[in-house]
Amino acid sequence: MAINNKGSTAVRVLASSTFAFTICFAVWMMFAVLGIPIKKSLGLNETQFGLLAAMPVLSGSLVRVPLGIWCDRYGGRIVFFLLMLATVPAIYLIGLATAYWQFLALGLFVGLAGGSFSVGTPYVARWFPKERRGLAMGIFGAGNSGSALTKFVAPAIIAAWGWQALPTVYAAAMLLTAIAFWLFSATDPSHNVAGTVSFAEQMKVLKDRRVWRYCQYYSVVFGGYVGLALWMTKYYVAEYGFDLKLAALLAACFSLPGGVLRALGGWISDRYGAYKVTWSVMWVCWVCFFLLSYPPTSMVVKTVNGPLQMDLALTPWMFTGLLFIVGIAMAVGKASVFKFIGDEFADNIGAVSGVVGLAGGLGGFVLPIMFGALLDLTGVRSSAFMLLYGTVCVSLVSMHFSFGRAGSPAAANPPLAQAA
């Protein structure tokens, strides 16, 4: 009976945490849609829009390490609950902001919601045995689908009541979610790190080069996901001339599988191993980004019958199809990277997930700004995918030399003392 009760509690923790993370992620990504009318109202350029969209990602990334450590020390339930409550005032105040600097400052406070990942991951993982941990973390990570939720809900709210109404609705949703999470989640003091373990001892794991390797992989699969989730709605509007509702709907074809299928990625990683899954994900992204990188091109070919005009460009449906594939690959890849962490750092998963989550989040912060800067400099919208193609190339080369031709993780995972 005790085992059944514990299993029931674990499922309840997983369900409440996943729902809470979904709402947190929807709030974290709100500027992907909200930023478009703000950009028009304030007359922002592409780089300024990229900074606005990415500002919540910056703070949500920087707080991941301390939040992960606090989760280890004090428990995920209380940290998660207080974190959600702390974001409510800033979310509401966005609807009252009028100046660009005000949106940037409030975006930093709203971004705290993104740090919920580094709380929920170790909180959920410790409720499940090792052989089910990848699936459990994958299900929790499916809360990334909050990005798609924003793309479905936000345009409708803006169309009905104006953009100022969206922050009010989201603030109310966050408050109610925090209360619901507290009521349905649970606490197990045995999951906490002993109080005698110092901060320095928890951070010794940074000497292990495996941590930095997983940071690089996660900056591609999660950082790339966040960057594209923030950028794609605007991309559809500018590149194909779609209205906000249709652009957000098509952008959700990337965001939704990129979140929901993370659970599938956890199951696949449990079954086939983190290395094989991550390696396959990188190759799929490499091919798709190569195709997405090619800008619309017109060529005149001299033939024996005279000049031949050729126009090469991705149609909206071809473009969306490739994005859909990338979304699936990134969902699986996010889960496989954390499968590495769950298997190899089970005793310090909070600190390690915080560091790796920080790297991924910083990737999501930097990329929209770089997308905007590249567009301002080159005038080529597909330059965003050229940049992502380069980051995947780095990961493939890194994996090849880290794991060797045989692809054996054991050969690349020395003990901490040796790695240091």
Note the maximum CA span of the chain. Answer: 83
Backbone angles phi, psi at 127, to 5 degrees: -90, -5
Tokens of 241: 């001339």
The secondary structure element, H or E, covering residue 258 is helix 244-260
Question: How far is residue 409's CA from residue 269's CA, in Å, rounded to a whole number?
Answer: 13
- CATH T-level assignment (fold) for domain 2-419: Growth Hormone; Chain: A; (1.20.1250)
> What is the overall mean pLDDT for the chain?
85
Question: How far is residue 117's CA from residue 391's CA, in Å, rounded to a whole number?
Answer: 23
pLDDT digits (tens, 9 = 90+) for 65-114: 888 888 878 888 999 999 999 999 999 999 999 999 999 999 999 999 98
Which range among 19-23, 54-58, 258-262, 342-346 has the greatest average pLDDT?
A: 19-23
pLDDT at 389 over 90: yes
Give the model's confidence band at 310: pLDDT under 50 very low, under 70 low, under 90 confident, else very high: confident
Tokens of 373: 């800067």
HSE-CB of 210 using CA atoms within 13 angstroms: 27
3-state helix, strand, coil in the chain (%, to 5): 80, 5, 15
From the CA atom positions of the chain, what is the Rg in Å? 22
Residues β-bridged to residue 15: none
Report which residue type is found at 25: F
pLDDT at 155 over 60: yes
Predicted model pTM: 0.75
Question: How far is residue 125's CA from residue 129's CA, in Å, rounded to a whole number?
Answer: 8
User: How large is the average pLDDT for residues 102-127?
Assistant: 90
- Is residue 279 within 8 A of residue 68, CB to CB? The reply is no
User: How large is the average pLDDT for residues 364-384?
Assistant: 90
Between 344 and 128, where is the model more confident? Answer: 128
Sign of the alpha-carbon dihedral angle for 44, 48, 50, 52 = negative
Q: Which of 362, 324, 163 is nearest to 354 (CA)?
A: 362
Question: How far is residue 71's CA from residue 115's CA, in Å, rounded to a whole number?
Answer: 11
Give the model's confidence band at 416: pLDDT under 50 very low, under 70 low, under 90 confident, else very high: very low
pLDDT at 313 over 90: no
Share of the chain above pLDDT 70, in %: 90
Question: How far is residue 368's CA from residue 218's CA, in Å, rounded to a whole number?
Answer: 16
pLDDT at 247 over 70: yes
